[in-house]
Amino acid sequence: MRLEREQSLVVLIDMQQKLAPAIHETTQVQQAALWVLEVAQQLHVPVFATEQYPQGLGETVPVLRHLIAPVHIFSKIHFSALREPDIRQVIQQQQRQQIVLIGTETHVCVLQTALDLLSSGYQVFVVAAAVGSRTIENKQLALSRLQQAGASIISLEMLAFEWLDKAGNDKFRTLNQGWIR
């Protein structure tokens, strides 16, 4: 299955201030998540975020929070975002079948959200560079399990090029300028 911009919705899961320092390669994970959010914004793909018990873990890290409308940030207590009625409702209201997941922790909240999305009939895409766990082993095990369960594990460029669909237009030229690193 191919990722379609008009069918996509991005969910940033629990990339929060007090948890972020404990995440393996947190700077790289945050930069990848930032890139996903910026591309989504430029291509008009809706973005939502969750915060696991923000009273204890803090808000979404500032570098990402400023790109998400406050009404699109949802507090949760379940590990799976889909177990929260308001989050489930807003995802359903979008009427988009492809959910792109980024955030932390890969082996807990990202995994459980993805499994519930898959069992609800959604196509799930996990951006490997934009998810993280406290240990690399937990991240790798989660990505493997997600793939076995039917989620597509994708790279940053897979996401962007599939959303763009073709070269030779202004959106491609604009986004392509930032890809040469």
CB burial of residue 85 (10 Å; 0-12, 13-18, 19+) = exposed
Pairing of strands 8-13, 98-104: parallel
- Of 18, 86, 109, 116, the catalytic one is 109
Closest to 107 (Cα-Cα) out of 145, 142, 146: 142
CB atoms within 10 A of CB 6: 10
- The pair phi, psi for residue 39, each rounded to 5°, is -65, -45
Is 170 among the catalytic positions?
A: no
- Of 76, 116, 139, 171, the catalytic one is 76
Is 18 among the catalytic positions?
A: no
86-120: buried (b, 16+ CB within 10 Å) or exposed (e) per residue? ebbebbeeeebebbbbbbbbbbbbbbbbbbbbbee
Is 166 among the catalytic positions?
A: no
- Name the residues annotated as catalytic: 14, 76, 109
